[in-house]
């Protein structure tokens, strides 16, 4: 609740500011003015709910000021203060629906009681206005919904009194346009409808246009538009395509600050309210083609005498072609293939249905997922993965969004291929380093990690994932293999072999060898000699 305190006596204003408990009354903001003229100037921006004003002031008295302010805000309550309690002022206060008249010198308790009554009056008035607005909006929305459907024979005569000022004559030109909001906007459908309709109404008001609107489903808002009566018709009076294109650009610009995602479609122009359903239906038909447009753009219905047959996308065999270039790990080929596909689908928009395109992209995304599995890049549950793909495809609301998701999936695949290649390269470097340094007794994981410029913990995890062995196990196995090779030659002493494979302690070497091979070094040599 906001209040404006108007009095030419500064001491009176300051005394009231200190003495009244504004917060207890629910009054959050108080603005001061020194006379009626300043009060009028401040009120235009401040928009007070209550005015507590002296009657006699220089430049403009309280009565004159209140008359002007209540023209702007009929719900505003006025409390007059004056030391001159003559009948004329009291009559003026009653005429202006002033809540109270407080005599000077001011009694704070009396002022507080008057303010309490004013607050109650304003709240009741505001609630009545809100209720009336809701009722009117519901009536307008219901009428818009009925006009979107073909009228019953003879026309719904009862509708003529539902929305005052709506032109039911047979000469007024109308067109319907749709705003298809994307379901993945951050706001609820109800909030989106309020936000969008407010922007549309402001844009139309500046052009002398009127509208009634409603919604179907959760994210489809439709507007029936006509020119305000008394507005001069110019060369654009027939709402031709060029004029609609200009309006479409204005709407796109006006909606930009809302940061919402949508498509706009203009229906054809019709004459007479009971033909609005024809414009609505034409917009719905054209809405199919908006799937092939980028988001936050508009389309205008075009009459076609003939329609092409729907294309058969199965003939493209594009999913197999995509699988082939993916298996070849040809990133450039993938990008060319996808770009050519999108361009072709855009050009054939008039002979395609959105669900046809979604089915095609589902197959393409499945092909990418299968390639991930083939390259052992993912170990996801295939049935669950396919369900996720279909869910992702189903929620897309344009070809460009579908294409973007497929492109992201392909980019992710090639990123995983690069990582896999880098990891395999690291495995090669690790094994090569072990082959060159296995004879060193001090060979440690830290030395290997420094050689390949990776942390010890990372190479241990990487090596185990890629080879199934720990690094220490691999080093031991490699040393034992080299020992077995040396033991075959009887000229090599077992103590020398132990040192050559990184063990200075021959007894310890013997224990490790027997654990790994199942026999002692000498037993292994004898078996090979017998063979």
Q: Is residue 215 classed exposed, middle or buried when 0-12, 13-18 and 19+ CB atoms within 10 A define those classes?
A: buried
Are residues 116 and 22 in contact, defined by beta-carbon separation less than 8 angstroms? no
**CA–CA separation, 180 and 531 (whole Å):** 83
**What is residue 319's predicted lDDT score, i.e. its pLDDT?**
87
Burial degree of 258 (CB within 10 A; 0-12, 13-18, 19+): middle
pLDDT score, position 381: 47
First to last CA, the chain: 104
Strand partners, 169: none
Q: CA-to-CA distance for 101 and 80, rounded, in angstroms?
A: 5
Instruction: Give the separation between CA 80 and CA 62, rounded to whole angstroms.
Output: 8
Q: Which residue would you say has higher pLDDT here, 305 or 366?
A: 366
> Which pLDDT belongs to residue 236?
45
Whether residue 202 is predicted with pLDDT greater than 50 in this model: the reply is: yes
Structure tokens, 15 = 């005394």
Q: Are 402 and 357 in contact (CB under 8 A)?
A: yes
Quick one: pLDDT at residue 298? 94
Asked whether residue 155 carries a pLDDT value surpassing 70, the answer given is no
Count the Cβ atoms, other than its own, within 10 Å of residue 501.
23
Predicted TM-score of the model (pTM)? 0.60
Residues 427, 459: Cα–Cα separation, whole Å: 8
* Residues in CB range of 465: below 8 A, 6 or more apart: none
What is the rounded CA–CA span in Å between residue 209 and residue 204? 5
The span from the CA of 477 to the CA of 463, in Å, is: 14
Residue 237 has pLDDT above 90, yes or no: no
What are 239-295's pLDDT values in tens digits?
889 999 999 999 999 999 998 999 999 999 999 998 999 999 999 989 988 899 899
Give the tens place of pLDDT for each residue, 77-123: 999 988 765 556 666 666 666 667 888 888 999 999 999 999 999 99
Give how far the C-alpha of residue 201 lies from the chain's centroid of Cα atoms, to the nearest Å. Answer: 23
* Predicted confidence (pLDDT) at residue 228 exceeds the cutoff of 60: yes
pLDDT of residue 129: 85
Paired tokens of 330: 């040809």
The answer for residues whose C-beta is within 8 angstroms of residue 529's C-beta and 6 or more apart is 490
Give the separation between CA 279 and CA 266, rounded to whole angstroms.
8
Average pLDDT, the chain: 86
Residue 303 has pLDDT above 80, yes or no: no
Structure confidence at residue 231 as a pLDDT band (50, 70, 90):
low
Q: Which residues pair with 265 in a beta bridge?
A: 178, 299
pLDDT at 424: 67
Distance separating alpha carbons of residues 23 and 2, to the nearest angstrom: 11
User: Which residues have a Cβ under 8 Å from the Cβ of 500 and sit 6 or more positions away?
Assistant: 439, 482, 483, 486
Taking the C-alpha atoms of residue 408 and residue 461, their distance in angstroms, rounded to an integer, is: 28
Instruction: Show the beta-strand stretches assigned E in 372-472.
Output: none
pLDDT tens readout for residues 170-197: 889 999 999 999 887 778 888 888 899 9
Q: For residues 491-498, give the mean pLDDT.
A: 88
Distance CA 140, CA 210 (A): 12
Taking alpha carbons only, the member of 148, 124, 291 closest to residue 216 is 148
**Rounded Cα gap, residues 57 and 96, in angstroms:** 18
CA distance 279 to 228: 19
Percent of the chain residues topping a pLDDT of 70? 89
Phi, then psi, of 351 in degrees rounded to 5: -120, 20
Q: What is the largest CA-CA distance in the chain?
A: 137
| Cross-strand pairs, 6 | 33, 53
pLDDT of residue 385: 64
Mean per-residue pLDDT, 424-436: 83
d(CA 173, CA 170): 9
| DSSP code for 172 | -
CB atoms within 10 A of CB 338: 18
92-131 burial, b at 16+ Cβ within 10 Å, e below that, comes to: bbeebebbbbbeeebeeeebeebbeebbebbeebeeeeee
């Amino acid at each position: 609740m906001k209040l404006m305190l108007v009095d030419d006596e500064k001491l009176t204003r300051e005394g009231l500011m200190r003495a009244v408990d504004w917060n207890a009354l629910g009054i959050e903001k108080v603005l001061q003015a020194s006379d009626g003229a300043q009060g009028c100037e401040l009120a235009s921006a401040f928009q007070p709910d209550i005015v507590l004003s002296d009657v006699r002031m220089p430049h403009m008295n309280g009565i004159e000021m209140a008359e002007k302010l209540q023209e702007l805000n009929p719900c505003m309550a006025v409390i007059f203060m004056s030391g001159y309690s003559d009948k004329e002022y009291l009559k003026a206060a009653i005429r202006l629906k002033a809540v109270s008249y407080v005599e000077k010198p001011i009694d704070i308790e009396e002022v507080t009681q008057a303010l309490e009554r004013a607050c109650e009056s304003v709240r009741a008035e505001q609630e009545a206005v809100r209720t009336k607005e809701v009722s009117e909006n519901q009536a307008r929305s219901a009428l818009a919904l009925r006009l979107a459907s073909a009228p019953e024979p003879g026309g719904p005569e009862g509708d003529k009194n539902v929305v005052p000022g709506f032109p039911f004559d047979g000469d007024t030109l109308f067109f319907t346009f749709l705003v298809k909001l994307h379901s993945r906007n951050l706001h609820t459908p109800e909030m989106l409808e309020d936000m969008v309709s407010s922007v549309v109404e402001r844009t139309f008001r500046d052009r002398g246009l009127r509208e009634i609107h409603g919604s179907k489903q959760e994210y489809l808002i439709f507007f029936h538009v006509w020119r305000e009566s008394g507005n001069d018709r110019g060369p654009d009076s027939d709402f031709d395509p060029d004029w609609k294109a200009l309006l479409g650009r204005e709407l796109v610009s006006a909606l930009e600050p809302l940061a919402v995602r949508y498509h706009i479609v203009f229906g054809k122009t019709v004459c007479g309210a009971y033909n609005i359903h024809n414009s609505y239906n034409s917009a719905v038909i054209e809405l199919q083609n908006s799937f092939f447009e980028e988001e936050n753009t508009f389309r205008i219905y075009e009459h076609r005498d003939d329609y092409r047959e729907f294309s058969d996308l199965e003939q493209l065999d594009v999913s197999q072609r995509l699988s082939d270039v993916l298996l070849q790990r040809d990133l450039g080929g993938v990008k060319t293939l996808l770009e050519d596909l999108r361009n072709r689908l855009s050009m054939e928009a008039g002979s395609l249905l959105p669900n046809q395109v979604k089915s095609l992209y589902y197959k393409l995304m499945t092909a990418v997922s299968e390639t991930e599995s083939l390259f052992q890049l993912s170990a996801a549950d295939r049935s669950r993965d396919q369900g996720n793909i279909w869910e992702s495809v189903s929620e897309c609301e344009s070809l460009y969004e579908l294409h973007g998701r497929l492109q992201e999936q392909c980019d992710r695949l090639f990123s995983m291929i690069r990582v896999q290649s880098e990891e395999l390269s690291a495995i090669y470097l690790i094994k090569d380093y072990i082959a060159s340094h296995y004879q060193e007794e001090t060979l440690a994981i830290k030395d290997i990690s420094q050689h390949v410029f990776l942390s010890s913990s990372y190479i241990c995890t990487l090596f185990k994932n890629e080879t199934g062995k720990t690094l220490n196990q691999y080093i031991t196995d490699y040393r034992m293999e080299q020992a077995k090779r040396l033991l075959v030659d009887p000229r090599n002493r077992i103590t020398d072999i132990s040192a050559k494979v990184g063990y200075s302690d021959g007894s310890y070497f013997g224990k490790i060898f027997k654990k790994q091979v199942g026999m002692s070094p000498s037993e292994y040599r004898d078996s090979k000699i017998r063979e």
